[in-house]
Amino acid sequence: MSGARLTESIGARFPDAVITTHAYRGEETVVVRHEQLHAVAEFLKLDDDSKMNFLMDLAVVDYSMFGKSPPQAFFASSGVAVRPPARIPDKNPWPGPPGTERFAVVYHFFSTTHKHRLRMVVPVDETSAEVDTVCDLWAGANWLEREAWDMFGIVFRDHPDLRRLLMYDEFEGHPLRKDYPVRRRQPLIGPVN
Amino acid sequence: MENNSTFFTSRVNEALGWARKYSIFQYPFVTACCGMEYMATACSHYDVDRFGAGLPRFSPRQADVLFVVGTISHKMAPVLKRIYDQMAEPKWVVAFGVCTCTGGFYDNYATVMGIDTILPVDVYIPGCPPRPEMVLDGLMKLQDKIQDEHSTGVRPAPEDRPDDLEMEANR
Amino acid sequence: MPIDPTTEVETADAASAPAAESPKPATREMLLNIGPAHPAMHGIVRIVTKLDGEQVKEVDVEIGYLHRGFEKMSEQVDYNGVMPYTDRLNYVSSFINNAGYCMAVEKLLGISVPLRCEYIRVIVSEISRIADHLTSVGATAMELGAFTVFLYMIKAREYLWDLLEQVTGARLTVSYCRVGGIKADLPDEFAAGCIAAFAKTREVIAESEGLLKRNRIFTDRMMGTGVISTEDAISYGITGPFLRATGCDYDVRKDCPYSVYDRLDFDVPVGTAGDNMDRFLVRMEEMEQSMRIVEAALKDLPDGAVMTHPGTGRHIPAAEMVDLGKVGNIGAIADGCAVPGPTLEGAGRERLHTISTDNKRVALPAKENVYGNIEGLMQQFKLIMHGHGIRAPEGEVYEAVEGANGELGFYVVSDGEPNAYRVRVRPPCFAIMSALPLLLVGDMVADIVPTFGSVNMIGGELDR
Encode pLDDT of A108-161 as tens digits. 999 998 888 999 999 998 888 889 999 999 999 999 999 999 999 999 998 998
Model confidence band, residue C304 (pLDDT cutoffs 50, 70, 90): low
Query: Poorest-confidence range of C168-172, C306-310, C356-360?
Result: C306-310
B108: closest chain C residue by CA: C69
Q: Which chains neighbour B (Cβ–Cβ under 8 Å, 3 or more pairs)?
A: A, C
Model confidence band, residue C315 (pLDDT cutoffs 50, 70, 90): low
- Mean residue pLDDT of chain C comes to 84
How many domains is chain B built from?
1
Residue type for A151, please? M
Question: Could you give the percent of chain C with pLDDT greater than 90?
Answer: 44
Model confidence band, residue C116 (pLDDT cutoffs 50, 70, 90): confident
pLDDT at B3: 53
Q: Is B102 on the interface with A (CB under 8 A)?
A: no
pLDDT at C402: 93
pLDDT at C182: 86
Chain A residues inside the 8 Å CB shell of C110: 25, 90-91
Candidates A151, A168, A176, A178, partner chain B, best to mutate (most B CBs within 10 A):
A168
| Alpha carbon distance B128, C68 (integer Å) | 15
Q: CA of C6, closest CA in chain A: separation in Å?
A: 28
Q: Which chains neighbour C (Cβ–Cβ under 8 Å, 3 or more pairs)?
A: A, B
Q: Is A176 on the interface with C (CB under 8 A)?
A: yes
Do B164 and A188 make contact, defined as CB atoms within 8 angstroms? no
B107: closest chain A residue by CA: A183
Do C394 and A87 make contact, defined as CB atoms within 8 angstroms? yes
Do A184 and B109 make contact, defined as CB atoms within 8 angstroms? yes
Do C459 and B32 make contact, defined as CB atoms within 8 angstroms? yes
Query: Poorest-confidence range of A119-128, C164-173, C234-243, C362-371?
Result: C362-371
Chain B residues inside the 8 Å CB shell of C155: 43-45
Q: Is A74 on the interface with C (CB under 8 A)?
A: yes
Model confidence band, residue A96 (pLDDT cutoffs 50, 70, 90): confident
Q: Is the pLDDT of residue C417 over 90?
A: no
Q: Is the pLDDT of residue C41 over 70?
A: no
- Mean residue pLDDT of chain A comes to 85
Model confidence band, residue C184 (pLDDT cutoffs 50, 70, 90): confident
**Which domain CATH number covers B76?**
3.40.50.12280
Q: Is B4 on the interface with C (CB under 8 A)?
A: no
Model confidence band, residue C13 (pLDDT cutoffs 50, 70, 90): very low
Q: Is the pLDDT of residue C1 over 50?
A: no
Q: Give the residue numbers spanning the domain of B59.
A: 25-146
pLDDT at C336: 67
Instruction: Enter the pTM of the model.
Output: 0.87
Residue B77 lies in a domain: yes
Q: Which chains neighbour A (Cβ–Cβ under 8 Å, 3 or more pairs)?
A: B, C
When comparing pLDDT for C22 and C365, which is higher?
A: C365
Written in H, E and C, the secondary structure of chain C is CCCCCCCCCCCCCCCCCCCCCCCCCCCCCEEEEECCCCCCCCCCCEEEEEEECCEEEEEEEECCCCCCCHHHHCCCCECHHHHHHHHCCCHHHHHHHHHHHHHHHHHHHCCCCCHHHHHHHHHHHHHHHHHHHHHHHHHHHHHCCCHHHHHHHHHHHHHHHHHHHHHHCCCCCCCCEECCEECCCCCCCHHHHHHHHHHHHHHHHHHHHHHHCCCHHHHHHHCCCCCCCHHHHHHHCCCCHHHHCCCCCCCHHHHCCCCCHHHCCCCCCCCCCCCHHHHHHHHHHHHHHHHHHHHHHHHHCCCCCCCCCCCCCEEEEHHHHHHHHHCCCHHHHCCEEEECCCCCCCCCHHHHHHHECCCCCCCCCCHHHHHHCHHHHHHHHHHHCCCCCCCCCCEEEEEEEECCCCEEEEEEEECCCCECCEEEEECHHHHHHHCHHHHHCCCEHHHHHHHHHHHCCCHHHHHC
Q: Is the pLDDT of residue C85 over 90?
A: yes
Q: CA of B66, closest CA in chain C: separation in Å?
A: 12
| Model ipTM over 0.90 | yes
Candidates B72, B109, B115, partner chain A, best to mutate (most A CBs within 10 A):
B109
List of domains in chain C: 12-62 (no CATH), 71-179+186-303+392-463 (1.10.645.10), 314-384 (no CATH)
- Average pLDDT in the C120-126 region? 93
Chain C residues inside the 8 Å CB shell of A142: 434
- Average pLDDT in the A177-191 region? 88
Do A193 and B113 make contact, defined as CB atoms within 8 angstroms? yes
Q: Is the pLDDT of residue C283 over 90?
A: yes
When comparing pLDDT for A123 and C385, which is higher?
A: A123
pLDDT at A120: 92
Q: CA of C60, closest CA in chain B: separation in Å?
A: 17
pLDDT at A70: 66
- Provide Rg for chain C, Cα atoms: 26
Do B74 and A188 make contact, defined as CB atoms within 8 angstroms? yes
Residue B93 lies in a domain: yes
pLDDT at C311: 46
Residue B164 lies in a domain: no
Residue B153 lies in a domain: no
pLDDT tens digits for range B21-66: 899 999 999 999 999 999 999 988 898 999 988 888 888 999 999 9
Residue B60 lies in a domain: yes
Residue type for A186, please? Q
| Alpha carbon distance C297, C290 (integer Å) | 10
Q: Is the pLDDT of residue C4 over 50?
A: no
